[in-house]
Structure 1
Amino acid sequence: MRHSTLGHDRFQNKLELRALRQVTLNVLVVDDEPSILELLQSALPELENCAVSVAASADAALQMIKTAEAPFDCLLLDIQMPGTNGIELLRQLRKTPGNLETPVIMLTAMDDQKHIEEAFLEGAFDYITKPFDFFELRSRMNAAHLLMMERIRAKTSSASIQDLRNELEFNQQFSFEDPLSIEGLERCLRYVEFDHYIDQLSRGRRSDSWVTAVKLQGAEYRFDLIEFGAFRRLISDIAQRIDVISHRTEGVFCYRGSGVFLIVTHGRGLTSQLPTEDILNRDLKQAVSDGCLSAVMSSPVSMRSFSKSGAIAAMNQALEKVNSRESALGKSAAVHTHMKLENTPILEEKSTGRLFDTVLREMYGDTTYLDRK
């Protein structure tokens, strides 16, 4: 069903992008380098409709954000600034009314995995290093703004009454393959942000990152059997346990749809601290009310690649491993069930024979044809 609308979705995205280009984007650039501010303020409006405001510090930016008549459409934040840096500014921005979904693109000359990870976990949409290509930057700004509008539309269209909206959103229909957004977890990234995070890892040429897949066992069967809200709660329950794991291993994770999570860790030492499948399931049984809830895990797959395609290949390999693990467990359970079924008729036949004998003896006494030689 989802693939049948792919062409329509692409066409719709083109229409929305064309419409977006007719609208002036209100952009705030925050950087302590005057040359960068001057460059962006002059170059961005020349590319497309764009009104650029600038701030030389985080404090000045926060004041502009709080006093603005309407939230900015996009923010470009430098990370390495004196005083309050860009990541702390982003953290404060997310607490400012009206800016929970404002797209933020980090601008920096740094290429450090720790800063990349921290920025995404605080709610950055994308990350671009200096010196940057203006056309690429504008393209990412468009993508960020389109996604922000889509997310706002999805949130506001579910209900007109605030106290009903959360429940309706929680139970709204979705496909089994859909990557649900899970809010309120510190180490969990949404689908698009996770892809951008992986992209930055590959650009940074890291060679010690690993990806591990975790899957709700029998996920598709459960999805068909229960209500949308109940399935979403199962996924949320597993996500909460994975968030604890990710804190312990300093990793990040994402729900990718189809009952599957991907966890990215860095270094063999931290990766080795991931729990085994048995320990994960024991923790799930202790923490979740559904005692039948269980998950399968892949072994960690090295993302030792200097390209995005190599990183994607590693993620696909982790998915194949976890699906194979689930399939193997399913076959083992099927064999065990078949062996039990083979023995069951014999026991039932014996039991039925004894009952028949008892009835005859009650009707005719002990002297029946059963006693004849």
Structure 2
Amino acid sequence: MENENNGHNRFQEKLEHRAQKTPQLKVLVVDDDPSILELLKTALTTIDSYNVTVANSAESAIDALEAATTPFDCLLLDIQMPDTDGIVLLRGIRALPDYSETPIIMLTAMSERSYVDDAFMAGATDYVCKPFDLLDLRGRMNSARRLVKERLKTEKSLRSVKILKQELENNQQFNFEDPLTIDDADRCLRFVEFDNYVGQLSRGRLFNSYAVAIKLQDASILYDITSCGCFRRVVHDTAHCIQSATSEIDCIFSYRGEGVFLVVVHEEMPSAEFPSEEKLNNYVSVMLRERHAAAWVHVLVGEPISMRSLSRSGASTALTRAVTSVGEREEELREKNSVLSGAEVAEEVTATGSTEPRKRMYERVLMELFGEESYLSMK
């Protein structure tokens, strides 16, 4: 009996020691409903031993942020609150240096798409409608924290020395498949936030939309023969071309890696207002002209794919079909050799049926722009 008690005590000590080593997560919950605040404080404290602070207004939330000795690890915000609503509060919090990447989950009764759009464009990490499931909410919070942890790990070098940020961005290595972040385009969501956005629309059955994929033609060749910094700038500038060309359209888009952007357009399909491939390339030509890149950057537009009344899995399938469509468009152009520039290059392609002349055209333009020595240092 004594051995059993000793064993139990040792097990209990290990649990307590482990609990002491695991830091408590600091969570701020903002809602004007006292019952919601009490429920979440009790549940989160019991389920995961979170250190929960509550605020019943945007003003008291700002006070809590300012009073905190260390930043909160996660925030849960309601939208409809007196005086200042949750969307305005979210924008204000995202402007604070300590909270530019902190997981912020909207926990609200507002399920209309306009609120979903506004929340994600203001910087929400995820969106949960009331009534909510506590285990689902816990899973969303944990997923958001893991996401931010990985982001901070990869961006640590960029944050540590602000004065070297541009140089580090130019030299930072990444894979062709990586979904780069476009921070300064209002309607361009990051990879996971875009998935969460589509998921929320699916859960609320708010789709009366279609998806279109836009792709940098021969993006893999461009990635191979330029530096990561150069490829990043082309992706960044192309995102701003898409933003400008679709400024009058109700849509959200995201860069998905491999030179591909996905656009979700909230209109009846097909929409005559969505910019044509020619119009988009006009924007590219004008915007990239300052970087002398317009001659060798070309975008392709896939077929519109309906997302109306789809489940989450169905929405994912529609997005995949949109990406497949623009890929087929690129293959079609390669076969027809119809997008190459210059008579000499066109003759080479006609004779060989190869895409290699396209690569040589890239290389020739780059050497003209940067000189042989500078160009070779980019490879």
Q: Specify the code of the residue in structure 2 equivalent to 1:215.
A: K
* Equivalent residue, structure 1, for 2:282: 282
Assess if the C-alpha contact under 8 Å between 2:28 and 2:52 holds in 1: yes
Deviation at 1:26?
Answer: 0.3
* Equivalent residue, structure 2, for 1:332: 336
* SS in structure 1 of the partner of residue 247 of structure 2: helix
* SS in structure 1 of the partner of residue 188 of structure 2: coil
Distance 1:341 1:213 in 2: 31
Distance 1:307 1:136 in 2: 18
Assess if the C-alpha contact under 8 Å between 1:155 and 1:169 holds in 2: no
Comparing 81-90 with 153-162, greater Cα deviation is found at: 153-162
Aligned match of 1:321 in 322, 325, 329?
Answer: 325
Distance 1:47 1:339 in 2: 64
Distance 1:26 1:182 in 2: 28
Assess if the C-alpha contact under 8 Å between 2:337 and 2:350 holds in 1: no
Question: Cα gap change, 1:300/1:52 in structure 2, threshold over 3 Å: closer, same or farther?
Answer: same
Assess if the C-alpha contact under 8 Å between 1:211 and 1:301 holds in 2: yes
* SS in structure 1 of the partner of residue 248 of structure 2: helix
Question: Cα gap change, 1:117/1:339 in structure 2, threshold over 3 Å: closer, same or farther?
Answer: closer
Assess if the C-alpha contact under 8 Å between 1:246 and 1:263 holds in 2: no
* SS in structure 2 of the partner of residue 254 of structure 1: strand
Deviation at 1:110?
Answer: 1.8
Assess if the C-alpha contact under 8 Å between 2:245 and 2:283 holds in 1: no
* Equivalent residue, structure 2, for 1:176: 176
Matched, 1:309 2:319: no
Map residues 88-103 of structure 1 onto 2, 5 A cutoff: 88-103=88-103
Assess if the C-alpha contact under 8 Å between 2:210 and 2:269 holds in 1: no
Q: Specify the code of the residue in structure 2 equivalent to 1:187.
A: R
Deviation at 1:270?
Answer: 9.3
* Equivalent residue, structure 2, for 1:256: 256
Deviation digits for residues 14-39 of structure 1 (CA, Å, limit 9, x no counterpart): xxxx9999331100000000000011
* Equivalent residue, structure 2, for 1:293: 297
Distance 2:20 2:277 in 1: 47
* Equivalent residue, structure 2, for 1:191: 191
Distance 1:339 1:30 in 2: 62
Matched, 1:55 2:55: yes
Deviation at 1:148?
Answer: 1.8
Deviation digits for residues 143-174 of structure 1 (CA, Å, limit 9, x no counterpart): 11222222222222357432113421343111
* SS in structure 2 of the partner of residue 247 of structure 1: coil
Deviation at 1:263?
Answer: 0.6
TM-score by length of 1: 0.82
Q: How many residues align?
A: 325
Deviation at 1:272?
Answer: 2.9
Map residues 7-156 of structure 1 onto 2, 5 A cutoff: 22-156=22-156
Q: Specify the code of the residue in structure 2 equivalent to 1:37.
A: L
Deviation digits for residues 318-373 of structure 1 (CA, Å, limit 9, x no counterpart): 1111001011111111795358649xxxxxxxxxxxxxxxxxxxxxxxxxxxxxxx
Structure 2 portions without partners, runs of 5+: 1-17, 341-345, 353-379
Distance 1:323 1:236 in 2: 21
The percentage of aligned residue pairs carrying the same residue is: 45
- Runs of 4+ residues deviating >6 angstroms: 18-21
Distance 1:182 1:118 in 2: 18
Assess if the C-alpha contact under 8 Å between 2:171 and 2:229 holds in 1: yes
Question: Cα gap change, 1:265/1:143 in structure 2, threshold over 3 Å: closer, same or farther?
Answer: same
Question: Cα gap change, 1:134/1:21 in structure 2, threshold over 3 Å: closer, same or farther?
Answer: farther
Distance 1:21 1:203 in 2: 38
Distance 1:44 1:272 in 2: 49
Greater gyration radius: 1
Assess if the C-alpha contact under 8 Å between 2:107 and 2:127 holds in 1: yes
Distance 1:19 1:154 in 2: 28
Distance 1:140 1:340 in 2: 53
Q: Specify the code of the residue in structure 1 equivalent to 2:347.
A: T
Assess if the C-alpha contact under 8 Å between 2:270 and 2:304 holds in 1: no
Deviation at 1:207?
Answer: 3.7
Deviation digits for residues 182-226 of structure 1 (CA, Å, limit 9, x no counterpart): 111101100000000000111111241111000000100111111
Deviation digits for residues 248-277 of structure 1 (CA, Å, limit 9, x no counterpart): 212111000000000111012894311100
Assess if the C-alpha contact under 8 Å between 1:79 and 1:86 holds in 2: yes
* SS in structure 1 of the partner of residue 149 of structure 2: helix
TM-score by length of 2: 0.81
Q: CA RMSD in A?
A: 2.2
Question: Cα gap change, 1:103/1:271 in structure 2, threshold over 3 Å: closer, same or farther?
Answer: farther
Distance 2:333 2:117 in 1: 35
Q: Specify the code of the residue in structure 2 equivalent to 1:316.
A: T
Assess if the C-alpha contact under 8 Å between 1:249 and 1:270 holds in 2: no
* Equivalent residue, structure 2, for 1:10: none
